[in-house]
Amino acid sequence: MMKAVLIVPVVLGVSLLGQANTPARQASMDDLISEVRALRAEIQLMADTSIRAQLLVARLQVQEERIAGIARQLAETEEQIRALDGARNPFLTHMMKSLEQEPAEPGAAEMFAGMKAQLDKIENGDPVLKQRRADLSRVLSEEQARWAAFNTQLEELERLTAAGKRR
């Protein structure tokens, strides 16, 4: 009987301890589940950020290639304009004006017309080249602005990523 008296309180104590542990276990399980969900959200955010960064870097590289191509075309156009400027010869201009005033042989008129057209093109600085230079300068400015916008987005992404790591 004495054994029964001792066993009953022990069994009661153990069963009460088991019941007291159950809510604590449930709370820790809920905490664990919410922590796993938070980790999943962070992993998804990191994956999204990584993909966005890769896309921005690719766009930045494409913009750099575009800018380099336009800058090359602009340099070529500038070189052509300089070549026209260098081809201007005051002596040749004076000679052409004197030929205009003096009558020439009948076959020389066609040659004179071709030379005059080239001289006019040189004297006018070829408006097509000047327009091309203006267009290329405008496009270059637009592409550089687009590059700067992509670069700003990339810097913002970098700033957000760095801020997330400090947490």
pLDDT of residue 98: 65
pLDDT at 36 over 80: yes
pLDDT at 148 over 70: yes
Q: How many percent of the chain have pLDDT more than 70?
A: 64
Angle among Cα 82, 86, 90 to the nearest 5 degrees reads: 145
Sequence-separated contacts (24+) of 76-84 with Cβ below 8 Å = 77/129, 77/132, 77/133, 77/136, 78/133, 80/126, 80/129, 81/125, 81/126, 81/129, 81/130, 81/133, 84/121, 84/122, 84/125, 84/126, 84/129
SS3 106: coil
Question: Taking residues 119-135, what's their average pLDDT?
Answer: 81
Residue-wise pLDDT tens digits, 110-124? 666 777 777 776 667
Q: Which residue has the higher pLDDT, 96 or 25?
A: 25
Instruction: Give the global pTM.
Output: 0.59
pLDDT of residue 135: 96
Mean pLDDT of the chain: 79
